[in-house]
Structures are given as structure tokens and as C-alpha cells.
Amino acid sequence: MESHASDREKVAFALRTEGDGSDFYRQATERTSHKLARAAFEMLAKEELRHVALIEALGKKLEGEGGTIEPNSPTKKALEFSIKTIYQNATDDQGTGELDPADAYKEAIELEEKISTLYFKYGQECESDEAKHLFDVLYREEQDHLALLQDMLGYLANPDDWFVDRDGVMLDGG
């Protein structure tokens, strides 16, 4: 993994990383026909764009232009509810079907693991308190994304034994 000396360099790299993540999730949404996977990827693409906005605000703050950065992190339950809403509004005939959902989940898990590791490191290394705080928040959010993806992969692997409704939110439409 690349080393970035200054907080500004970390911000620039994090922006590229989040943009790449959003692109990955957008493409995965288009390339899989699995309705639940599409809903998850659509929600995660939006989350990555929200992260871009937060990191851009941090960049402005480091340049002396911005005000307070308040991440307003969604809970894992809120992320699940977002997926449920997208899932319920989606039609069955979307996506090209060229991407196997399990393969897409595995790729996404690898991506989230790399981003989580990066943000954990940045949270420890940053000089600015604002940067440390934001990267700590982003680390926790990426960990939630990772847990969600692992849950989804578990569902694909064994749907009969897997309970989507851990906290009262059903993702299978039930």
C-alpha cells in the first residue's frame, strides 16, 4: 500500500479510492442481475459518494476554507433498511447478468478490507485532529460495509439456514 506523508496527500488518495469504490459498485449494479446484490451495490455506491463529499470537505478544511465536518454516520441497521427499500422498488429484469453475485461480493469484500485498513492507518498517522476523526469515522463505516457484504455472501452461500432478519429488518422482502 502506498505511503502518503501529509494529511493532504492522504486526502487526495482517499478521494481517488472512494471514487474507484463508487465506480466499482455502480458497475457491479449494472453487471449483476441478482436483485438483492444489485440493491446492496446501489446503496454502497451512494455511500462511497457520501464519503467523497466528506473527504472533499476535509480537504477544504485542511486548506483553511471549510467549517466543521460532521459525518452523520448511518448505522448498520439503517444501511440494511436502505437496501430493503431499494430492493422493494427494483424490478427483476435489471442488470446484464454477466457478473456472478458471489464473485462480486468477494471482490467487494476485498475492496472494503483494503479501504478499512487504509483508513485505520490514516486515523493513526494524521496530524490534524479533524483528519484523524474523519478517518476513524470512515474506518468504522467501511467496517459496517464489510460486515454487510459478508452477511450477503453468507446468504448466497446458504439461504435456507441464513436469517436476514437479525434486528427486525427483512431484506428478502418478507
Query: In CATH, what number is assigned to the domain containing residue 49?
Result: 1.20.1260.10
Instruction: Pull the grid cell for residue 65.
Output: 476554507
Asked whether residue 70 is domain-assigned, the answer is: yes
Asked whether residue 73 is domain-assigned, the answer is: yes
Asked whether residue 169 is domain-assigned, the answer is: no
Domain that holds residue 80: 7-157
Angle between helices 7-31 and 35-62 (to 10 degrees): 160
Name the domain count of the chain. 1
Average pLDDT over residues 75-88: 74
Asked whether residue 149 is domain-assigned, the answer is: yes
Residue 87 confidence (pLDDT): 67
Asked whether residue 89 is domain-assigned, the answer is: yes
Q: Which residue has the higher pLDDT, 81 or 114?
A: 114
Asked whether residue 162 is domain-assigned, the answer is: no
Q: Please give the model's pTM, rounded to 2 decimal places.
A: 0.82
The per-residue pLDDT for range 124-158, each reduced to its tens digit, is 999 999 999 999 999 999 999 999 899 889 888 87
